[in-house]
Amino acid sequence: MRRRLLPLAALLLAFAAARAGAAPASDPLERARLLHRVAAELLDDPAIESRQRCLRDLEDAIALDPEGRAGNHWLLMARLRESGGLDREARRCFRNACVQRPDDPETWLGLARTYRRDWLRTLDGDALRRSVAVLDTASRVRPGSSAVWLALCPLLYELHDLPRAAEAAERALHGYPRVPEAVLAAALMAWRTGALERSDSLFRAALPRLAPDLRAMFEHPGRFTGSAPRRPPGLLTSTDDDATDTLGTTPKGPWVDDPAHDALPDPDPTTPENELLLEYRARVAHAYLLFNDPSRPGLDARAETYIRYGPPAKVLLNPPGVSLVFKPNPNAGGNPHSGSMSEYPLDAQLWIYPDLGMNILLNDRTLTGHYSTPALREPWPNSTPSPAALAKRGDLLATGGGFAVFPTLPPTAQRLDVTGTFAAFEGASQARLSAFAQAAGDSLEARWVVTDARGRVVARDRHAMGRSVCDPALRADAFALDLPPGRYDVTVSARDGHGRRGLDRGAVTLGRVVDALAMSDLVLCCGEPALLVDRDAIRLEPLGGTTVRGGAPLTVYFEIYHLAAGADGLSRYTFDYRVERLALDDKGRPVAAPTTTTWASREEVFRGRVRRQFLSVPMATLGAGRYRLGVTVHDTIAGTSEAGAVEFVRP
């Protein structure tokens, strides 16, 4: 402190001497330079007297040196106005500073900040575009400045210009000075463009270099997913009495940071990266880069809302029906003796999430662009995700009972439609899990993971997907494994060389292999049996889903095991099938007994105990609806029977 006061005292003495006439009256440039230095010393002093003195000195310096030869007086004046919340005055000063010093990126950055702050507060799209235009000019003035590209990246992302946003992140990463926030921007855009391996490595490289509070946001997702608790206030120590949460809300006690509470489920176990954790970290990175103002550090409720639920479909400013005033005591209830009756104006933003059936209300009670949750007697209607809306979206995962919602699939532009078919067969000595996958694209790779009922990985594999037998535009792959009896979860993912990816999951229950008549699962196939048989080998090509279109017969494949042989060494069996129309309600529950629409029976004779069977079911007479195909096999010699069924849909 003493070292800081000594230069200030010297400057004040020199300034007093100049005011007293010690400096020549014919040297206004020197006096302006001295006034500029004194104002720079007083700029960060929060005392009102110091700020007033700083303002007077800068006004005198500008009057003495209007061309700014003794210093960038307008930039200093803009910073003073900006710290005081006078954005309109700060913008005017930044503009003057840009005219005088067009080669100084700080002036352009400051001007862009005022426009960005205006856009965040008023939702004016023109202000956003002006901020981007100013930063574009700054990038041409100083193309190697990481600060310029770092400020430009989140704004371009908000304009849905991903290629330019990704380029800005890369320029910030390779610019100067080297800052860890630039690594965050590069990791964010790598994730948004589908490069998840690079995104994961960049996040891991950036986190150790961040400030402790910011790093904790990335490393402890339980704070924003509803799983991390707080210690009760009674357990606070003397140093924790003023502890607040990350977004600056009222004290609630310190966080209990425990890896068990921070663990997020991995929606795609076929990759070493946790896609849900990467999505969370990408949200934190974007919220920090967008809502954190260097001149007014700190995040508010908008950042927390974005981290928990992602970008809203729409944001309304001061919508109809929302109160734009607040009372210091909202529980007064109109009683003049229970508190103050004063009312104060506020701004309100309504964040709308139609896919979640949710609207979140935020209030700016300071009228400075700092939003917080409103103080209401009753919760705002539909302020939490609708269970019905979540049930309709199989690609969303709610954590903490709806405290946060994350997607389990990539964005639509990066998503591959992967369809998996999973079935149980019999192997030589154990049950066999067979899985098939289809996806549209070129040069696709399929990755397989099988986990048991305890979540342990029992098998992994990866293949280049080959061309489909039935549709040249599709790629197909198959995976088979002999396993002990039990329930197994199968995940298959596919990806191409352009960052697009997709996955599908299913469960298969394998039984014990016993020496008795048995059937495999029924598999709906995509073509005629002649296309699926190559000499003595069978190459199954599942339909890819349960929807059967067109009037061509439906091909169904199944296997029959442990048929008894007669005295002549031949096995004899008959099988019949029936197609039943299912009457279901909106929730898929049966509302009436099924109606049989098709029935047929066949008798077969062959040599062996295992029969691989194709079945063709006519479709021309079936109308739209949901159907169940049931097959029953009768071993004529042993006198035993076995049945299986599969459902399909006619659009």
Tell me the pLDDT tens digit for each residue of 460-500: 999 999 988 888 889 999 999 999 999 999 999 999 888 88
Give the pLDDT of residue 24. 46
505, 266 in Cβ contact below 8 A?
Answer: no
Q: Tell me which amino acid residue 585 is.
A: D
Q: How far apart are CA 177 and CA 518, in angstroms?
A: 70
Q: How far apart are CA 207 and CA 186, in angstroms?
A: 13
Give the pLDDT of residue 593. 66
pLDDT above 90 (res 239): no
Q: Report the mean per-residue pLDDT for the chain.
A: 85
Percentages helix, strand, coil for the chain, rounded to the nearest 5? 35, 25, 40
The 8-class DSSP code of residue 248 comes to: -
Tell me the pLDDT tens digit for each residue of 117-137: 999 998 999 999 999 999 999
Q: What does each C-alpha distance from 185 to 110, 370, 639 come to in angstroms? A: 20, 23, 70
What 3-state class would DSSP assign to 431? Answer: strand
pLDDT > 70 in the chain, percent: 87
Torsions phi, psi for 19 (to 5 deg)? -65, -35
pLDDT > 90 in the chain, percent: 45
Q: How far apart are CA 360 and CA 303, in angstroms?
A: 13
What 3-state class would DSSP assign to 433? Answer: strand
623: nearest Cα among 582, 577, 576: 582
pLDDT above 70 (res 84): yes
pLDDT above 70 (res 432): yes
Give the pLDDT of residue 360. 93
Query: What own/partner pairs with CB < 8 Å and gap ≥ 24 does 530-537 have?
Result: 531/469, 531/470, 532/469, 532/557, 532/614
- Containing 397, the helix (H) or strand (E) segment is strand 396-399
pLDDT above 60 (res 8): no
Q: Which residues contact 44 (CB under 8 A, 6 or more apart)?
A: none
pLDDT band at 250 (very low <50, low <70, confident <90, very high): very low
DSSP line for 52-101: HHHHHHHHHHHHH-TT-TT--HHHHHHHHHHHTT-HHHHHHHHHHHHHH-
540, 532 in Cβ contact below 8 A?
Answer: yes
pLDDT above 50 (res 51): yes
| Choice among 55-69, 325-339, 502-516 with the minimum mean pLDDT | 325-339
Detail the DSSP E strand segments found in 474-561: 474-483, 486-495, 501-510, 518-519, 523-525, 533-534, 537-538, 554-561
Torsions phi, psi for 582 (to 5 deg)? -100, 130
- Of the ranges 310-314, 343-347, 409-413, 563-567, which is most confident? 310-314
Give the pLDDT of residue 374. 86
Give the pLDDT of residue 583. 81
Q: What does each C-alpha distance from 624 to 272, 380, 548, 588 come to in angstroms? A: 43, 43, 10, 15
Give the pLDDT of residue 284. 95
* Placement of tokens 């609806």 in the chain: 625
Lookup: tokens for 576: 């019949």
What 3-state class would DSSP assign to 140? Answer: helix
Q: Which residues contact 294 (CB under 8 A, 6 or more apart)?
A: 113
pLDDT above 80 (res 594): no
pLDDT above 90 (res 309): yes
pLDDT band at 528 (very low <50, low <70, confident <90, very high): confident
Tell me the pLDDT tens digit for each residue of 140-155: 999 999 999 999 999 9
pLDDT above 60 (res 232): no
pTM: 0.84
613, 489 in Cβ contact below 8 A?
Answer: no
Lookup: tokens for 374: 């409103």
Give the pLDDT of residue 366. 85
What 3-state class would DSSP assign to 545? Answer: coil
Radius of gyration of the chain from its Cα atoms, rounded to whole angstroms = 34
Give the pLDDT of residue 20. 44
The 8-class DSSP code of residue 542 comes to: B
Give the pLDDT of residue 497. 84
Give the pLDDT of residue 427. 87
Give the pLDDT of residue 588. 63
58, 39 in Cβ contact below 8 A?
Answer: yes
pLDDT above 80 (res 12): no
Length of the chain: 651
Give the pLDDT of residue 483. 94
Three-state secondary structure of 177-199: CCCHHHHHHHHHHHHHCCCHHHH
* Placement of tokens 């929060």 in the chain: 46
526: nearest Cα among 563, 592, 474, 449: 474
Lookup: tokens for 343: 């009312």
Tell me the pLDDT tens digit for each residue of 166-211: 999 999 999 989 999 999 999 999 999 989 999 999 999 999 999 9
DSSP line for 192-244: HTT-HHHHHHHHHHHGGGS-HHHHHHHH-THHHHT---B--GGG--TTSTT--
DSSP-assigned beta bridge partners for residue 255: 230
Q: Tell me which amino acid residue 457 is.
A: V
Q: How far apart are CA 634 and CA 575, in angstroms?
A: 6
Please count the other Cβ atoms lying within 10 Å of the Cβ belonging to residue 319.
14
Give the pLDDT of residue 495. 92
pLDDT above 70 (res 231): no
DSSP-assigned beta bridge partners for residue 449: 460, 491
108, 137 in Cβ contact below 8 A?
Answer: yes
pLDDT band at 31 (very low <50, low <70, confident <90, very high): confident
Give the pLDDT of residue 375. 77
DSSP-assigned beta bridge partners for residue 617: 554
Tell me the pLDDT tens digit for each residue of 359-381: 999 999 888 888 988 877 777 88
